[in-house]
Amino acid sequence: MTTYVIKTLWRHRTRTLLTVTGAAVAMFVFCFVGSVQEGLHRLTSGSDADRNLIVFQQNRFCPTTSRLPEDYSDKIRKVPGVRDVMPIQVWTNNCRASLDIVVFNGADPQQIQQARPLKLVEGDWARFASQRDAAIVGRNVAQRRGLVTGEQFTIGDISVQVAGIFESSVPAEENLIYTSLAFLQYTRGLDAAGLVTQHEVMLTKDADPDRVANEIDSVLSAASVATTTRRKGAFQASTLSDLVDLIGFAHWLGYACVGLVLSLVATTTVMSVQDRIKEYAVLQTIGLRPLRAMKLVLAESTILCVVGGTAGTALAMVLLSISGFAIGAEGATIAFRPSVELAISGVCVSIVVGMAAGLAPAIQAATVPIVDALRQS
């Protein structure tokens, strides 16, 4: 049966190639959209997103507008349920949505090493901790900007020495550049001495995040700058609210791509069956059972879809792994990363769509009136 199906497809190789190419392009887009959705899910969920809090200036959005006293961390540490506090100064080259956003996070090097799941693939922590203008760069940023260890990197008013390049189990981290807090605070043009953008609060295991958040805001309500404290995941989702809506719309684009593959493969298979309707009649006269005829057509549509879908999925995985694509806004970034789950999803969707596309023409081939078909010229 496999040999017959392959010969049938090869008989109309141009049509087969165009169908496979169309399926590949559609599944490529489907996987790309899926990677964006996975990136958003990773950013707004997980243990640190639910158990860490972000203290931000009330009614502020872009990091450049939030200016909290650094010594708020001393008051926050006294709140029951707080394990540690990390003051962070954030600088970004663009507060609007961008595919090439550069985000600096300034914090204490020792706290960065303890609180972030970072692994240096180049450079060393000692240089980063001891040199004031040193920075460690996320792998995705290094790929996009062509940065290597020891190089000077300048953007806007900020100029740093790349002390190392890191990778992380949290993909969004690989789109950040970390420097010391003092460096960003005293960089010319930022005017942030004694100020930070936000405080990240790590909680004890038994602490209630919502209760602690309310208590922090209550404690700081009488201070010079009012604050809004939220879980880290909720804070990032709010920061990326415009992109969340856009990604939600893109979700339907993924479904549209699946529908396109279904329509394309179904059309090709129907044309193939109609071209060979007399052939199916002859096969039935020599003993081919209707169920067997259905299997032949289903195999044809499934092979078309699986070959094209697998090629598109593989191409998407390769491009996502080497490109370091990310989109961000207001200092938060969504990393586009390949995953085993996404690859399996692409292949499984291809199989299901291929079988669904071949169902109607398979029934047509199995129920063809033998006498009428044989009379066709």
Query: To which residue do tokens 């609180």 refer?
Result: 115
Structure tokens at 255: 């479904």
Q: Which tens digits make up the pLDDT trace of 155-169?
A: 878 899 999 999 988
Do the domain assignments include residue 268?
yes
Are both 183 and 77 inside the same structural domain? yes
253 and 324 part of one domain: yes
Residue 237 belongs to some domain of the structure: no
What is the DSSP secondary-structure string of 315-333?
HHHHHHHHH--EEEETTEE
Q: What is the pLDDT of residues 333-361, one digit of tens each?
A: 777 888 899 999 999 999 999 999 888 88
State the pLDDT confidence band at 54, using cuts at 50, 70 and 90.
Answer: very high
Chain Cα centroid distance, residue 33: 8
Q: How far apart are CA 44 and CA 247, in angstroms?
A: 13
Give CA–CA dist 25/320, Å, rounded: 15
Q: Which residues have a Cβ under 8 Å from the Cβ of 207 and sit 6 or more positions away?
A: 80, 81, 82, 83
Residue 10 and residue 90 in one domain:
no
Confirm whether 266 is domain-assigned: yes
pTM for the predicted model, two decimal places: 0.76
Instruction: Give the model confidence (pLDDT) of 65-75 as tens digits.
Output: 888 999 999 99
Q: How many CA atoms lie within 13 A of 320 on its CB side?
A: 28
Residue finishing a domain among 190, 225, 260? 225
102, 144: one domain: yes
Q: In angstroms, rounded to a whole number, what is the distance separating the alpha carbons of residues 107 and 98?
A: 24
The answer to whether residue 216 sits within a structural domain is: yes
Q: Is residue 138 part of a domain?
A: yes
184 and 285 together in one domain: no
Q: 282 and 174 in one domain?
A: no
Total structural domains within the chain? 2
Apex 273 CA angle, 25 and 347, nearest 5: 30
Residue after which a domain boundary falls, among 196, 225, 254:
225
Tokens of 110: 């020792």
Q: Residue 336: name the closest of 226, 255, 243, 259 by CA.
A: 243
Residue 52 within a domain? no
Asked whether residue 50 is assigned to any structural domain, the reply reads: no
Q: Per residue in 255-307, pLDDT tens?
A: 888 888 888 888 888 887 776 666 666 666 666 676 777 787 788 888 889 99
CB 57 within 8 A of CB 229: no
* Full domain range(s) for residue 121: 59-225
In a domain, 53, yes or no: no
Verify that 289 and 335 share a domain, yes or no: yes
CB 79 within 8 A of CB 70: no
Q: Are residues 135 and 25 in the same domain?
A: no
